A and B are shown apart, each in its own frame.
Chain A
Amino acid sequence: MESLLKKALQEANVDYLQITVEERRQTQIEYSGPQLEQIGTTTSRGGNVRACHQGGWGFVSFNDLSNLKGYVREACRQAKMVGRKRTTLSPFPEVEADMRPRFEIDPQAISLEEKESLIRSYNQIILSAPKIQTSRTIYRDLRIDQYIATSDGSLIHQEKLYTGASLRATAKEGTNVQQSLESVGQSKGFEVVKGLEERAEEVAKDAVALLSAPKVTPGIYTVILDPKLAGVFTHEAFGHLSEADFLSENPKFKERMKLGDRFGPDELSIVDDATVPGENGSFGYDEEGVPSQKTYLIKNGILVGRLHSRETAALMGEEPTGNARAISYLFPPIVRMSNTFIESRDYQLERMISQVDDGIYAVDCLGGNTDLEMFTFSAQKAYRIVRGKIKGMIRDVILSGNVFDTLKKIDAIGNDLSLFGGLGGCGKGRQYPLPVSDGSPHLRIKGVLIG
């Protein structure tokens, strides 16, 4: 493979060129209710050529490796057509690397039969709970064998491994249908999906409890977010704003995200860190061959950094952060998060709750989205807080608001940071799902619009 790539690179007549080749092997098992919907292994092999010339980009992806030189020429032609100025890419020392995943149990050493029987047992736990109407239980392991070769001399071979499962319960009573979901996923092996029996029980229990939970009364509340929901908030509400590809080409918005400006209280620090071992968003090198690193985005309430590709770093006169990622060979790398989280402080959850007279404790997340300024995300379940005490469960708690306002309204940060991966991932442009983790300690935010 190395010599094939090196030979093809010689066809390049542009400022920068990189070739990525991947082999992917995925096993997926999916139960929906009592029925096994999907089981088996699929493979794919493909690659892409990415070229930059005078600031213009070309990109070609393919499955047919025998025409590699032709694709190199095509990508060069495109880049030359687009390029009108100067190529600005942060210089990067050439890298030779060979990375292997770390795991306890290799999923490829486990038979399809054993995987199926484990997933079936979780599915059974959900289905055997009363009032549960259906379930959806998914297992997945994905192994990616990736080569990246660049015209400035880097050659990286890295193997990645992701294993995870998701458990969904649907409860129904009359026309009232409620769902609960739990998803685990990390850059690790089969150990990730073992021992999920209790979680399966809990998912079923939550879905049933939601049936009789009243809907939240829309309004403005003091809200305490659990680490999972607060993690989604961190990722969606703030993380996307730190992605420099958008900023580097929009001077006005860049002004709003000026380093050194205050974005939150003194206690608030937000980090993106792909070097945390074994998390879903962890990796050795990004899809431009830049090593992963830990980047502070907000430190003590002040904006101090952002996420870069080699191009955005050069355009903004900052250092590359190793955040150019692609979901597969089908797409060019773009600026993405890895593991994004708020650092722990000293507030105890009990104290946080006891100080709220009338509010909401929102737990876990069904989904989230952002449009730069505005965000919206929905809690899986929630509880009313009345005079410092957690009261009954409520449902349909959807939080939305303006990012800038909301960060400033954080008034307590807990001491219990956890990170969460999962089978899903982050979506940006057309690239979904990209494996990421996010997390936070418990957070308390004032004046949140709940719909």
Chain B
Amino acid sequence: MEELLDMALKGAQAAEVIEVVAEEERAEFKAGKLKGMEKREGRGWGLRVIRKGKTGFSSSTDPTKRTDLVENALTSARYGQKARFNFPHPTHLPQVKTKDPNLIAFTLNEAVEHFGQGIETIRATNPPIYLEGFIQKEVVRERIINSQGLKSEFESTSFDFLISGLLVEEKGLLPINEGVFSGRLRLEGERLARSLLQKAELAKRIVPLRSGRFPVIFAPEALTNLLAAIEMGVNGKLVQKGSSPLCGRLEDEVLSPQVNLYDDGTYDLLQGSRPLDGEGTPTRRTPLFAKGVLKNYLFDLHTGAMMGKESTGNANRGYNTQPSPGINNLILEPGEKSLQELIEGIDEGIIIYEVLGGGQSNLLAGDFSLNVDLGYKIKKGGIVGRVKDTMVSGNVYQAFRKIRGIGREPKEVGEYLIPPVAFDSLSVSGKGN
């Protein structure tokens, strides 16, 4: 890496090298049995240069082709963006746990055994469910060095565990998923299996739903689809371009005062936890909405500089991509009600666990239109059965202004730590009457 930096500095004023070495192991299960094992050993280098005031970039996985890599980066700098920033100096980094020693020690043989136990729980009670899923562990080592003397590295772990039950129905299949997406080892097969069975049991009865506006609860897994719009809204790049609907709205009360939302790379052991971002800037806890008031946008070095702001430590990248602002971990502060209480507070409405079609609407403007894959009808404070052929639509910003309640039990979903949210009134269209 150091050699690459030196080579680049012969043709450039400033340079940065990122190295990513990743090892991922995965066990796949199909039809209730271990189907295959996979391992990925990847490594690559990204080189960013500043030459004659412009940035250039290239990447490679081939250590024997350093000259090509440097040449490609310098060529790209001929056309590149004006560099309005310099690479960061070495600085104090926040304390954050990014790796779980238990997960590092964990082997896939143990994973197979554990998955088997979860499956037994389901087999023993409900034979017509077909099961598939996977357990995956990943260890990533990221190093970054630059011409300002920065030399940093950290190692992080992530653990994904998904059990998917395919319920065979008259007209097709209903997938019901339960999973754990964490930075640490969470062997909760038994819990996942029980929760899956409970969902399957409730899904047996299909109930009609009339079209109209109803209270709707989004479980954390489904809520990420709505948060995607807000992530775009606070993305410094879209703000800088003027295309975010949150442009010029800092300190406005944009969302309900119940909403406290922040980005936090320094939170321990979520999948986006890290002491520094992809450009070496230390991560931090950045409030996005405090009591519904818009507080900050997320920047990397380049977009921050364009807006006359500092980087917030949100440069997302791999070794083969240039940095761009994005979330580290998105955290929604829990409210006071349990999920049960949220359900009990609804006279007629739905609760949604899984949706299809995220990202197809005009998300940038906040519009969403989601096909409900797994959702249940709530009547007089209780779940009465599953809804089918149902779509829920609206605008994320309007929806988050009128909230009935935020759950008190947050759930880890990869880079999210979020509780369920009950919205006051969303448009629901169904076929049944």
Contact = CB atoms under 8 A, between A and B. Distances in A.
Nearest to B431: A449
B231 to A, nearest CB: 16
Contacts of B389: 374, 400-402, 449
A367 B59 CA distance: 30
A43 B359 contact: no
B345 interface: no
B171 A177 contact: no
A36 B356 CA distance: 34
B80 A39 contact: yes
A368 B242 contact: no
Contacts of B109: 81
B38 A368 contact: no
Given A133-B243, A176-B365, A43 B65 contact: yes
Interface stretch (A57-65, A275-283, A345-353, A384-392): A57-65
Interface string A17-52: 000000000000000110111111111111000000
Contact of B369 (A40, A41, A396): A396
Contacts of A123: none
A60 B359 contact: no
A45 B214 CA distance: 53
Nearest to A112: B75
A134 B175 contact: no
A42 B320 contact: yes
A82 to B, nearest CB: 5
Contacts of B367: 396
Contacts of A400: 357, 371, 389, 391
A121 to B, nearest CB: 14
A374 B388 CA distance: 10
A102 to B, nearest CB: 27
Interface in B167-218: 168, 171-175, 211
A424 interface: no
| Among B40, B174, B359, residue most surrounded by chain A Cβ atoms (within 10 Å) | B40
B72 A256 contact: no
B43 A63 contact: yes
A342 B216 CA distance: 39
Interface residues of B, number: 68
B81 A396 contact: no
Contacts of B61: 43-46, 63
A78 B361 contact: no
B80 A36 contact: yes
Interface stretch (B7-15, B27-35, B97-105, B145-153): B27-35
A296 interface: no
Contact of B81 (A35, A43, A250): A35
Interface of A: 32-33, 35-46, 56-64, 74, 78-79, 81-82, 84, 112-113, 116, 133-134, 170, 172, 175-179, 218, 220, 249-250, 252-253, 256, 330, 332, 366-374, 376-378, 396, 398, 400-402, 404, 449, 451
B338 interface: no
A81 to B, nearest CB: 7
A355 B399 CA distance: 40
A37 B237 CA distance: 11
Nearest to A170: B243
29 contacts: A37-B322, A40-B56, A40-B75, A41-B75, A43-B68, A44-B44, A60-B40, A61-B39, A61-B41, A74-B39, A78-B36, A78-B37, A177-B243, A218-B429, A249-B31, A250-B31, A250-B173, A332-B36, A366-B360, A373-B171, A376-B391, A377-B357, A377-B360, A378-B360, A400-B357, A400-B389, A404-B172, A451-B391, A451-B429
A369 B42 CA distance: 30
B73 interface: yes
A130 to B, nearest CB: 16
B381 interface: no
Contacts of B43: 63-64
Contacts of A179: 362, 364
Given A112-B75, A250-B130, A56 B30 contact: no
Interface string B54-93: 0011111110010011001101101111000000000000
Contacts of A373: 171-174
Contacts of B391: 218, 376, 398, 400, 449, 451
B241 interface: yes
A38 B80 CA distance: 7
Contacts of B211: 218
Contact of A33 (B241, B359, B371, B427): B241
Complex A-B, nearest 6 residue pairs according to Cβ-Cβ distance, in ascending order: A373-B172, A40-B76, A57-B36, A451-B391, A78-B37, A376-B357
B393 interface: yes
A89 to B, nearest CB: 14
B393 A451 contact: yes
A136 to B, nearest CB: 10
A413 B4 CA distance: 59
Nearest to B128: A252
B58 A369 contact: no
A366 B80 CA distance: 30
A16 to B, nearest CB: 13
Nearest to B395: A175
B118 interface: no
Nearest to A400: B371
B39 A37 contact: no
A342 to B, nearest CB: 22
Interface string B297-336: 0000000000000000000000010100000000000000
B332 to A, nearest CB: 24
Contacts of B172: 253, 256, 372-374, 402, 404
A39 B37 contact: no
Interface in B230-244: 237, 241-243
A280 B391 CA distance: 33
A63 B44 CA distance: 8
B37 A57 contact: yes
B371 A40 contact: no
Nearest to B430: A449
B245 interface: yes
